[in-house]
Structure 1
């Protein structure tokens, strides 16, 4: 029952965020959505940070969809770019609440008080995301759009670029303009499509 009640609370919080990304996830609001009392919520999540961490841990379990990666009527580079962009946080301007939630999970995972559980969750997410990118590249390779060698290494390169852009989106002083971000992605894609058959461009 404990595990299901905990998930019930996380699902309620995620539903609130889906409706209002700037929500501060007030205890009373989340408890009401979950159909429980505030004291019950506090039993499972003593602090808002604990709730935020659980929300992000659950979100990291979501696999990115393949979008149009199989649609050969769309240029291969366009399809891959679309798949990569979905891995980024929402476009700027990001609300203060959303940025704070992102910074909370980063601090929990990599800060001085980080836990093994948080690091393992992030590590599992990284592996799943790497697998997804390698899968997208595999589709393009099977279609002859890119060379079929070194797909895992290319996937890791793309993931590194996307992670850098993701961090820059939530740190105001490092936030790139839309053109700069597009240019970075274009440069990364040019590496992946290097030596690709012209028909795959």
Structure 2
């Protein structure tokens, strides 16, 4: 079945990346891992970029999750903060394996000789994260919890803060302490909730 074959190809590519985050997903390597010919792979994924985007989309299936963003029994600030927190890499002070993996991915994308596939994957992740955050903001706007404004711009602001916190988790030397990380995220959420309200009737 076409759907199953496509999934097998994506699974093979994900397996290669799991073994080596810096690996380049060549048609030959992925086809060999999937046990198919290169022409068959090209039928499902005409370009390496389309393959890599599918791999990244599969890796993010179910995440970012909406979690409890629709649950009006909880404060809106709590719901948004909870959703944003899931975009952060796990904080494991005693285990550097997660941080090391993130560093490898970043180096593969933006370091010397960084591959196009890795940069495309990062761009795909960023686009999905932005769409998710904008979606959460739309829900809260419709509920009247946050003022109407440019959701994409606010989403970019929040993602910039989240990415900054993520870097401090990946690079332990820069890691803040004493609840500073949580306070920074709270400040960003607060800024969104207390932004000036836009009156669309006069726009």
- Asked if TM exceeds 0.5, the reply is yes
Runs of 5+ consecutive residues of structure 2 not aligned to the other structure:
21-28, 34-51, 198-203
Instruction: State the partner residue of 1:191.
Output: 191
Instruction: State the partner residue of 1:71.
Output: 71
Instruction: State the partner residue of 1:21.
Output: none
CA pair 62-121 structure 1, distance change in 2 beyond 3 A: farther
Q: For 1:186 and 1:79, how far apart are their aligned partners in 2?
A: 12
**TM-score, length basis structure 2:** 0.70
Q: For 2:103 and 2:95, how far apart are their aligned partners in 1?
A: 12
Instruction: State the partner residue of 1:7.
Output: 11
- 1:112-131 → structure 2 map (5 Å cutoff): 112-131=112-131
Deviations 1:130-162 (A, max 9, x none): 000000000000000001212111110000000
Q: For 1:94 and 1:110, how far apart are their aligned partners in 2?
A: 27
Runs of 5+ consecutive residues of structure 1 not aligned to the other structure:
15-24, 27-39, 45-52
Report SS of the residue matched to 2:114: coil
Alpha-carbon distance, 1:192 to partner? 0.2
CA root-mean-square deviation: 3.2
Deviations 1:52-95 (A, max 9, x none): x9xx9453565311000000000000000000000001123162
**TM-score, length basis structure 1:** 0.70
Deviations 1:16-67 (A, max 9, x none): xxxxxxxxx69xxxxxxxxxxxxx99x64xxxxxxxx9xx945356531100
- 1:20-31 → structure 2 map (5 Å cutoff): none
Instruction: State the partner residue of 2:96.
Output: 96
Report SS of the residue matched to 1:164: helix
Are the equivalent residues in 2 in contact too, given 1:63–1:128 (CA < 8 A)?
no
Report SS of the residue matched to 2:185: helix
Instruction: State the partner residue of 2:48.
Output: none
